[in-house]
A = this chain, B = another copy of it.
Amino acid sequence: MSSPLDVERVRKDFPVLERVVHDDKPLVYLDSAATSQKPRQVLDAIDDYYCLHNSNVHRGIHTLAEEATALYEGARDKVAGFINAADRSEVVFTKNSTEALNLAANVIAWAESPLGLRDGDEVVITEMEHHSNIVPWQMVTRRTGATLSWFGITDDGRLDLSDIDRVITERTKVVSFVLVSNILGTVNPAEQIVRRAREVGALVVVDASQAAPHLPLDVQALGADLVAFTGHKMCGPTGIGVLWGRRDLLEELPPFMGGGEMIEMVTMGSSTYADLPHKFEAGTPPIAQAVGLGAAVDYLSALGMDKVAEHEHMITAYALDRLQAVDGLRVIGPRTAQDRGAAISFVLGDLHPHDVGQVLDELGIAVRVGHHCARPVCQRFGVPATTRASFYLYSTTAEVDALVDGLEHVKRFFGAPGGRP
């Protein structure tokens, strides 16, 4: 199995990968689905921004203000290119995916007819959504009187679309779904969902938080109306996210937050709003973070997103093989690497994931345990939580091996008293 990436070289870009934990254990970071590590290139871009150009954007004509504005807007160009947006003004910077999804839910709900949500309208999500794509829709449907329904999950961790025509109906105003599940790893069949949503004239919102970092993402090819993702999972800093939207739709939607930057003209009595994308960017934006995200996008593009995806596919296939050979281990999610991202959830016998994670940590292996902000999936599979190992462009097969050895150690640790180390 050979990777299209020179992973050893890639790893050198990530300072944190040199960490040791618990005195002498080299860090095995298998938690990239929660947040990715950052390459030096991104950190340098942020530091340079603050050391050379720091200024507030847009409203200044002095040198630093122009430089900062050029850097900030340059980052927008980079992100627009990265996702193949038709127009740079379709890229709205938010603080994370969650803000992007809340923005989407609220402005759709508030919009004038025929867009807005009213009593009797329906919003469709799926049972495998991250809480950030469940709770905002619960909140706005409750406030507007619309109803929320959802697609279930099959036993092998795929969306159950068998009754798609009964779930998405003529009353459906919005369909919002995750492109790649952060807990199951499933890559969902966007085309089929988009097609049905189009038939009934519903808006399509896509949570691409686990897609943008890992796969080539082309928002035009995707055919959705709004797409959300988050910087910190794709080599970028915390504090920055993106909402992409079709230009004509964004133009029709009302603003989310009010304040500086997003206005055209303010009087005490009323205000008019700025053009896209500023209409949706109230207040001083996360400037340095946008610059960092721009650098992250450059970094990923230089490696090539197709190569990143291929590398992860290779690691995922290897990990699925080795993990499923561990006695007592049950994968929650698709059991093959087909249409699958690099997050693998599993349970180990009747050991609680907390205990699994704790013992792995002692070995230097960082996995995430819990419901991964997707509690309905845990309920669906009858488990209180899972252990999740997730891989990224710097992950190696040696790290998979370390995980498998670690799991054997975990079993011994909690085994019959005699079996303890």
Contacts and interface: CB of A to CB of B under 8 A. Distances in A.
Given A31-B55, A54-B38, A232 B64 contact: no
A211 interface: no
A179 interface: no
Contacts of A97: 283-284
Contacts of A271: 131, 134-135, 138
A3 interface: no
A367 interface: yes
A96 B284 CA distance: 7
B132 A63 contact: no
Contact of A99 (B95, B138, B357): B95
Contacts of A367: 62
Contacts of A34: 55-56, 59-60, 65
Interface in A3-27: 15-16, 19, 21-22, 27
Interface string A345-358: 00000000010011
A260 B289 CA distance: 21
A373 B258 CA distance: 12
Given A21-B64, A237-B288, A284-B98, A373 B131 contact: no
Contacts of A21: 63-64
Contact of A268 (B150, B283, B358): B150
A51 B64 CA distance: 28
A270 interface: yes
Nearest to A42: B50
Nearest to A66: B361
A271 B268 CA distance: 38
B52 A136 contact: no
A99 B258 CA distance: 9
B131 A258 contact: yes
Nearest to A380: B268
Contacts of A239: 95, 237-240, 286-289
Contacts of A357: 60-62
A268 B375 CA distance: 9
B98 A260 contact: yes
Contacts of A130: 259-260
A278 to B, nearest CB: 12
Interface string A259-290: 11111011111110000000000111111110
Chain B CB within 10 Å — which of A43, A127, A133 has the most? A43
B60 A31 contact: yes
Interface string A88-106: 0000000111110110000
B238 A102 contact: no
Given A56-B34, A354-B61, A375-B265, A135 B258 contact: yes
Interface of A: 15-16, 19, 21-22, 27, 29, 31, 34-35, 37-38, 43, 46-47, 50-56, 59-65, 95-99, 101-102, 110, 127, 130-136, 138-139, 143, 148, 150, 230, 232, 237-241, 255, 257-263, 265-271, 282-289, 354, 357-358, 360-361, 365-370, 372-373, 375-376, 379
12 contacts: A31-B60, A59-B370, A62-B368, A64-B366, A95-B239, A98-B258, A130-B259, A132-B259, A132-B260, A232-B284, A232-B287, A239-B287
